[in-house]
Structure 1
Amino acid sequence: MKNKSYIGISFIILIFGIYAVPKIYNRVSNDDVVRDRRNEVEPVKEIKKSSNLVKFNKVPTYQFLNQDSITIGNEFFKGKVHVVEFFFTTCPTICPIMNKNMKEIEQAFIKDDDFGIASFTIQPGHDTPSVLKTYMNSYDIKMKNWQMLTGDGGQIMELANKGFNIYAAMDDKAPGGFEHSGLFALVDKNGFIRSRKDEYGNPILCYRGIAQETKDEEGKVIDVLPHQLTELKEDIVKLLKE
C-alpha cells in the first residue's frame, strides 16, 4: 500500500511539472514577473515630498504701525512665507550687518508675492514710522511685503523673547543701549515658526543672520560660526512650495 501511495504522489508531481514549469519559464523570459512587481510601486515623480522642516509654535497675535503709519498684524502675512528680525535704527553694531544680509534675502525673493519680511524695532520710542521710512529708504528697500513695525515696547520685547525665542533686552552697558541677537526667524504661510535641523538632528529654531563669535573670558574670539543665509534661502523655497 505504501508503494502505491508513493507512485500516486509522484504521478501528481509529474503532471504539475508538465503543466506549470513551461508557464513559469515563459513569464520569466517575457519579464512578466518583474513588470507585475513594478506595477505595485508608485512612480517616484508622483510622490509628494514634504519640506521636512520642524514646526514650532504659531506666532502670537500682534498689531503694530508700519513705516507708513498703517496698522499691520498677523493677517498681513497670512498665506505668505516670511522672515522676522528684531533690530533698531541707531544700532551701532550688528543691525547694519543684519539688514545688509536681509537685503540679500529681499533680492532673492523680490518677485515672489507670497514672500515677505517683518522687521520689529526694539527701540520704538525713537523709531517712529517716519524714522523707519527714512531707514528703509537708506537701504533702498523695494519689496512691497517688507514691513518695518513699531509700537508698544513691552509688547515687542515679549513678542521677541516669548513669541520667537529671539533674545532682546534693554542694557545701558550694551552699545546703543540694547542687547540683542542677530537671529532671523522663518514663518510659514499658516503662521507657524519653522526651521531645519543641525548636523546632530536638533532643530536650530532660528537662523544666524550674521556670523556668530564665541569669546573666552578675556574677550578673545575663539570661534566664529558663519551666517546661515544659504540655508535660510533654501528653506524659504521649500515653504513656498508647500
Structure 2
Amino acid sequence: MSKKTNYSYIGIAFIILVFGILFIPKIVDRISNNDVIRNESRTDYAKENKGGGTTLAYIENEGIKRQVPDFSFTNQNGETITNKDYLGKVYVIEFFFTSCPTICPRMNANLVAIQEAFKAYDDFGIASFTIDPKRDTPEVLKDYATKYGVTHPNWNFLTGDKETIYKLANEGFYIYAAENEDVLGGFEHSGNFALIDKKGFIRSRTDSYGNPIIYYRGIVSEAEVAGEDGEREEISLLKDDILKLLNE
C-alpha cells in the first residue's frame, strides 16, 4: 500500500472524528428536546387526527361499556326499524315530539344541518324517537320530516308503544322524558343528543378533566354564541366527533 493511500485513509478518519465530536452531541440533544420527531410519532399523530382530534371515550356503567338497548319501532314510512338496522352506521339519537312549541324545532333544525354535512355518507344516520306516540303516527311523522327537509335515507322518525319509548329514553339512554300537563306542550324532555358508533356503543369526547361529556347540547345552533340559558354551542363538536367515528 502506498503512502498516498495511507494519507487518504488518515484524512477520512480525521473527518469522521471531527464530525462525531462536533455534530453527534447536537443531534442527540435535539432528539432529547423533541426537536426531531420520529416517523412513527408523525404516523400516530395523523391517525389520531383523522377526522380531527383524539379517540372518543366510551360511556361506561360499573366498568361496562354502554350499548344502545334493543329496540323495535315504526318509522315515518310504516317500516319496522330496529337497533340492528343501525349497526355499521354512526348515528345520532334524539327524543322529541312533533307538536313541541319550544326546543324541538331548534333541535331538529340543528339535526338538518348535521344531515347536510353528512348527506354523502351512507354509513351515517339519525334516530328521532317521539315521546308523544298517541298523536305522532307514521303519517304525522312523515309530514313533519317533509316540513323540515329530511332527505337522508337513514334518518328515521320512530313511534310505537309509549311505555317502551319512555323506558328507552330514561333507562336506556338516561335522556330525560316525561309527560307533564303543567308545561307548555304537555311534555318535558332533554334537549340533548347521544352519539352512537358503528358497533352500537355510546361515545363522546371528554372535558378538560378527562371525563366524558356523554351528551351533546342540541338546542343551540352553530350560529349562536350561547343559548338562552347560557349553554354553549356543541353542534360543531358533534359534527367533528361524527367524522372521527366514521373514520375509525
Q: TM-score, normalised by structure 1?
A: 0.79
- How far did 1:22 drift? 8.6
How far apart are the structure 2 equivalents of 1:106 and 1:160?
Answer: 22
Shift of 1:42: 4.4
The equivalent residue for 2:206 is: 197
Match of 2:55 in 1: 52
Q: How many angstroms apart in 2 are the aligned matches of 1:60 and 1:46?
A: 36
Shift of 1:21: 9.8
What does residue 6 of structure 1 align with? none
Cα pair distance change 1:223/1:91, threshold 3 Å = closer
1:184 aligned counterpart, secondary structure: strand
State whether residues 27 and 33 of structure 1, in contact with CA within 8 Å, keep that contact through their aligned partners in structure 2. Answer: no
**Contact map agreement 1:89 1:121 (CA 8 A) in 2:** yes
> Structure 1: which 4+ aligned runs deviate by more than 4 Å?
20-35
Tell me, yes or no, if the aligned pair for 2:106 and 2:220 is still in contact at 8 Å. no
Aligned partners of 1:222, 1:125: CA distance in 2, in Å?
30
Q: Residues 115-130 of structure 1: matches in 2 within 5 Å?
A: 115-130=124-139
Is 1:104 the equivalent of 2:113? yes
Matches within 5 A, 1:98-177: 98-177=107-186
Q: 1:210–1:226: 8 Å Cα contact kept in structure 2?
A: no
Please list, as runs of the form range in 1=range in 2, the aligned pairs for 1:74-93 lying within 5 A after superposition. 74-93=83-102
The question of whether the paired residues in 2 share the 8 Å contact of 1:82 and 1:115 is answered with: yes
Given the superposition, is the C-alpha separation of residues 174 and 79 from structure 1 closer, same or farther in structure 2, using an over 3 Å criterion?
same
Q: How large is the Cα RMSD of the aligned pairs?
A: 2.8
Q: Give the 5 Å matches for 1:172-183.
A: 172-183=181-192
Extract unaligned runs of 5+ from structure 1.
Answer: 1-19, 213-220
> What residue in structure 1 maps to residue 6 of structure 2?
none
Query: By how many angstroms is 1:114 displaced?
Result: 1.1
Deviation, structure 1 residue 59: 0.5
Q: C-alpha distance in 2, partners of 1:63/1:149?
A: 9
Secondary structure in 2 matching 1:118: strand
SS in 2 for 1:75: helix
Mark the structure with the bigger radius of gyration. Answer: 1
Greater strand proportion? 1
Deviations 1:38-91 (CA, angstroms, capped at 9, x unpaired):
8x9443343242842110200000010011111101111111100010000011
1:94 and 2:103 aligned:
yes
Residues 220 and 235 of structure 2 are in contact (CA less than 8 Å); yes or no, is this contact kept in structure 1? no
1:46 and 1:138 map into 2 onto residues whose CA distance is 46
| Matched residue, 2:40 | 43
Deviation at 1:183, TM superposition (A): 0.5
Q: CA deviation at 1:163?
A: 1.2
Residue 245 of structure 2 corresponds to 239
SS at the partner of 1:147? strand
Work out whether 1:229 is the aligned partner of 2:229: no
Residue identity opposite 1:159 in structure 2? L
Relative to structure 1, is the Cα distance of residues 32 and 200 closer, same or farther in structure 2, using a 3 angstrom cutoff? closer
CA spacing shift, 1:27–1:67, aligned 2, 3 Å: same
